[in-house]
Structure 1
Amino acid sequence: MRSRLAIKRWSRQALFLAGGLVVGAAAVSMAFLADKAQEVLKALLQLSPYIGLALTPLGFGVSVLLARTVFPNSQGSGIPQVIAALQIEDQERRTALVSLRVALGKILVMTLGLLCGASTGREGPTVQVGGAIMHALGHRAPYRQGGFLLAGAAAGVAAAFNTPLAGIVFGIEELSRSFETRTSGLIIGAVIAAGLTSLALFGDYAYFGSTAAVLPLGRAWATILAGGVVGGLSGGLFIVIVTAFARGLPGGAGAAIVRWPILFAMLCGLGVALAGMNGDPSIFGTGYAQARAVVHAKADIDYWFAPLKFIATTLSTISGIPGGIFSPSLAIGAGEGSLLSLVFPHAPLGALALIGMVAFLTGVTHAPITAFVIVSEMTDDHAMIIPLMIAALVAQATSRLLSREGLYHALSHNFLARAQEKIA
């Protein structure tokens, strides 16, 4: 009897580790595809900035068409689908949200969106893809399948950002909102396996590069409060707008969007293209380049970047195309840090950028621990950890004035409702 239990335990651990390796490989592949898509777009825009006025709307229309007809449940970030799947007991309904078919569609259509200029990221999609891979393994094994799904999603975050600690924290704080000792070790094992795969292929690196930003104790700490409030309000506004469109606008406007979703997506794409006409290619895509430049204070400050990136990301999100908001949120936050330098010119720009990144990400997700842990790991800057903690708490309190729930959990209700309708 004991030998059977031991074999079962070790086989489960082997499946988690094997799944983690596959998730890590998938995350690296998605990073490669995302980078190449943005390189191609940048080359096209260098030929003529007006190319985006045709390419982006067309790409949005095709992406939404594929997401609605060929790969249903691949829309948006993918994190709300994972949250909903964790709460669904019916195996068929759960699989519909995190199947391998959905994962394949997520990768393909996410890449297409970035190629056409969508202001989206790959990290949220990596969570859904990671969850789908582990769910497929768990579906064929007599174990707790929720644990497999949670482990895959957490491993996806860890491998996407090269932030193993943030992956674990994200799984507990944002996805499950609980901690199960029976699966904690297995989740950590999957995160380790995914992280090792990323390390083997990409090497040891900090997502935004190592920084040494410091916020001197004293008057400069007023920037923490200001940054937290700005990030919280703008993040809360983002939630309000996105959830309003997700639930359906009232009146004729809402009816028109439901009737012509492809046309609406194309109009959103046109808006993104117009926002990107200012000449900064970081308005499109993840916004990584601009955010990194601000964090390291190696670029002229573009005070229009934050509002234009906010508009582009909002339009990309409400359009319904597959794509995440993690990276764009960090880019918006870095841009808001740049704006804070107008009021606090003597504060280090790098420190302002980190505060803005944590504040906006917290404002959107209502996951303060994940926000300050992930930014700290991505920049290898531990001197800022206390200011970032404070900024996260201020941003969460401020964002809740506009929305009681974070974006991912608010959107997950739609997927849960649809699952219940199908069961009924």
Structure 2
Amino acid sequence: MPLVSPRLWRRRLMAWTGALLVALAAILFAWAADGVHELFTALTGPQPWLVFLLAPAGLALSAALTRHVFPGAQGSGIPQVIAALHMQDPRLVDRILAVKIGFGKVVLTLLGLLAGGSIGREGPTVQVGATIMHALGRRLALPRPELQRGLILAGGAAGVAAAFNTPLAGVVFAIEELSHSFDARATGTTLIAVIIAGIASIALVGNYAYFGVSETQLAFGAGWAAVLAAGLLGGLLGGAFSALLVRAAAGLPGLAGRLVGRHPVGFAALCGLALAVIGWASGGTTYGTGYAEARGLVEGGAALPAAFALWKFLATLVSYLSGIPGGIFAPSLSIGAGLGHWLSVLMPFAPAGAVVLLGMVGYFAGVVQAPITAAVIVMEMTSNQAMMIPLMATSMLAYGVSRLVCRRPLYGALARRFLLAQERGRGGMRSPLGEAGG
């Protein structure tokens, strides 16, 4: 009798407790990331040259700790969670979603932000959320593997929901990207976890819009040319970014590949130097998650270089080639916002704010190849339901274009490579690039 069974109520209470812990972890992670970026700005603002020391040293230290102290913490964590959902050996799942790896993911992501890396915290939050729920599931000693996978899925979704304050996007992301399927029982657990995480997030930090409230609209007419432009360009650049990361995960060619294999920490230091050069050329706008720059563009008050999107694209690519932990959600949305801002200059007949949102969803959909998630997450982040149809149209177009450039979705391709490496026992968790960009 499900309503009175002590065993089932124990599972429910454990799952609800896990959702609360995921929300708390996501909020503390967000506060820490903001504090670290403020510290980086305070250090390098008065002395911009300091980044030429801080970035190489920070990325080298992060790469060394990843290889020798927290092996398996590289990348964003989303491919690792996808791989864990498809693994049959519980020992491998325990290894990937170990508490030590989750802790290392947080610490090393903060270190990367302190060094000026163009990385986000949202992908790592997904792995941390899955790790918390997996640890609780192990204590419950669930009788069937699908129940354990349901908890992992719920933890990842709750991580997205709490990190961005986007509950609907958390559920959609779990179905479209993490599991690639709809299962009534798993989705029910996920939905409850997301709701509880969302309530906890609202109670602690308020019901906020991640990128601020946007009231812009796009009337049907000439302005819809921006949908076509953002979809085509966003899909092309996003697909190119994904293709580069997938190729890098398989091994860089030539001298770069030999340097990564023989001297991974030295290669990370060179990436840090390149990151400092890019930051200097962009006027210091490419460091960190890109949250402030994207929000400024959404609200219409940012003064950024015309080539901001290109500089941020390069900074994010270099950050992931270095092999340090970190996510791509926030940097990708920032790149997309810069792309939309550039398009708005070329298309003065369309509302600039609307074109910025289209650029965000176009590039993000091109990178992750999850069009529904992309549209929903941008809509929720800006609290703009009026733009939903243009966002969906742009997202679907970008998805189609991206598939022409990168045949396999980024996270799925990296998860497949990671899974094969684990099952073959080739030490995939110690790869210099790991699942770079994952």
Q: TM-score range by the shorter chain?
A: over 0.9
Which residue does 1:192 correspond to in 2? 195
How much does 1:346 deviate?
A: 2.6
Counterpart code for 1:243: V
Residue 332 (1) aligns with residue 335 (2): yes
Going from structure 1 to structure 2, the CA distance change for 1:7 and 1:376 (only over 3 Å counts) comes to same
1:414 Cα offset (Å): 2.3
Aligned residue number for residue 54 of structure 2: 55
The 5-angstrom pairing of residues 315-394 of structure 1 reads 315-394=318-397
Instruction: Answer yes or no: is the 8 Å Cα contact 2:336–2:362 preserved in 1.
Output: yes
User: Alignment partner of 1:75: what SS?
Assistant: coil
Name the CA shift for 1:142/1:410 in 2 (closer, same or farther; >3 Å).
same
2:276 pairs with 1:273: yes
C-alpha separation in 1, matches of 2:324 and 2:256:
19
Q: Structure 1 stretch 276-285 or stretch 3-12: which is displaced more?
A: 3-12
Q: Which residue of 2 aligns with 1:237?
A: 240
Secondary structure of 1:422 counterpart = coil
Counterparts in 2 of 1:415 and 1:5: CA distance versus 1, 3 Å: farther
Show CA shifts across 1:175-205 (max 9, x none).
0001111222211111112112211110110
Residue number in structure 2 paired with 1:401: 404
Letter in 1 for 2:168: L
> 1:353, 1:406 → 2: CA distance?
24
2:134 counterpart residue number: 135
* 1:5 positional shift: 7.6
Instruction: Quote how far apart the aligned CAs of 1:252 are.
Output: 4.1
| Mapping 1:23-102, distance limit 5 Å | 23-102=22-101
Give the Cα separation in 2 of the matches to 1:297 and 1:3: 53
Task: Give the deviation of 1:279 after TM superposition.
Answer: 5.5
Comparing 295-304 and 283-292, the one that deviates more: 295-304
The CA deviation string for residues 361-400 of structure 1, in whole angstroms up to 9 with x for no partner, is 1101010000000000010001100000000011000001
Deviation of the 1:270 alpha carbon: 1.0
Letter in 2 for 1:126: T
Please report how far the alpha carbon of residue 278 of structure 1 lies from its aligned counterpart in structure 2 after TM superposition.
3.4
Is this contact kept in 1: 2:366–2:402, CA < 8 A? yes
Using the TM superposition, give the Cα deviation of residue 343 of structure 1 relative to its aligned residue in structure 2, in angstroms.
1.8
Matches within 5 A, 1:413-424: 413-422=416-425
Deviations 1:238-281 (A, max 9, x none): 01111111111244432221111111111111111111113644
Identity score, percent: 49
Aligned-pair distance for 1:153? 0.3
Tell me if structure 2 keeps the 8 A contact 1:282–1:289.
no
CA distance in 1, matches of 2:4, 2:419: 35
CA distance in 1, matches of 2:346, 2:53: 39
Letter in 1 for 2:330: S
Q: Deviations over 1:14-41 (max 9, x none)?
A: 1111000000000001001100010001
Structure 1 counterpart of 2:436? none
For 1:11, the equivalent position in structure 2 comes to 10
Letter in 2 for 1:51: L
Instruction: Give the whole-Å Cα distance in 1 for the aligned partners of 2:426 and 2:253.
Output: 27
**C-alpha contact (below 8 Å) 1:49/1:279 kept by paired residues:** no
Query: Within the alignment, does 1:212 sit opposite 2:215 as a pair?
Result: yes
String of CA shifts for 1:329-373, please: whole Å, max 9, x gaps.
000000000110232023212111110111111101010000000
- Find out whether 1:155 has 2:154 as its counterpart: no
Q: What letter is aligned with 2:89?
A: D
Secondary structure of 1:283's match? coil
SS of equivalent to 1:120: coil
Runs of 4+ in 1 over 4 A off after TM superposition: none
Query: Residue 113 of structure 2 corresponds to which residue in structure 1?
Result: 114
Secondary structure in structure 1 of the residue aligned to 2:404: coil
Supply the distance in 1 between the matched residues of 2:424 and 2:293 (Cα, whole angstroms). 43
Checking the alignment, whether the CA contact within 8 Å between 1:16 and 1:187 is kept in structure 2 is: no
Letter aligned with residue 325 of structure 1: I
- Kept in 2, the 8 Å contact 1:302–1:338? The answer is no
Q: Is the 8 A contact 2:84 2:93 kept in 1?
A: yes
Please, which runs of 5 or more residues in structure 2 have no aligned partner? 428-438
What letter corresponds to residue 42 of structure 1 in structure 2? T
C-alpha change, 1:242 and 1:8, in structure 2 (3 Å) is: same
2:425 alignment partner, SS class: helix
**Cα distance change of structure 1 residues 298 and 250 upon mapping to structure 2, 3 Å threshold:** closer
The CA distance in 1 between the partners of 2:150 and 2:405, in whole Å, is 33
Q: Which amino acid aligns with 1:385?
A: M
| Larger CA deviation: 207-216 vs 17-26 | 207-216
> How far does residue 4 in structure 1 lie from its aligned partner after superposition?
9.6
Distance across 2 between alignment mates of 1:301 and 1:33: 26
SS at match of 2:25: helix
Question: Aligned partners of 1:253 and 1:211: how far apart in 2?
Answer: 43
Listed as ranges, the gaps of 5+ residues in structure 1 are none
Instruction: Give the direction of change, closer, same or farther, for the CA distance of 1:64–1:165 in structure 2 (3 Å limit).
Output: same
C-alpha deviation, 1:319, in angstroms:
1.1
Figure out how many residues of one structure are paired with residues of the other and give that number. 423
Q: CA RMSD in A?
A: 1.5
Q: Given residue 221 of structure 1, which amino acid in structure 2 is its aligned partner?
A: W
CA deviations 1:389-417 (Å, max 9, x no partner) are 00001100000111112211111122102
Q: In the TM superposition, what is the alpha-carbon distance from 1:295 to its structure 2 partner? A: 0.7
Shift of 1:3: 7.0
In 1, distance between residues paired with 2:311 and 2:116?
A: 14
Are 1:290 and 2:293 matched, yes or no?
Answer: yes
Amino acid paired to 1:14: L
Q: Distance in 1 between matches of 2:9 and 2:378?
A: 35
Residue 411 (structure 1) aligns with: 414
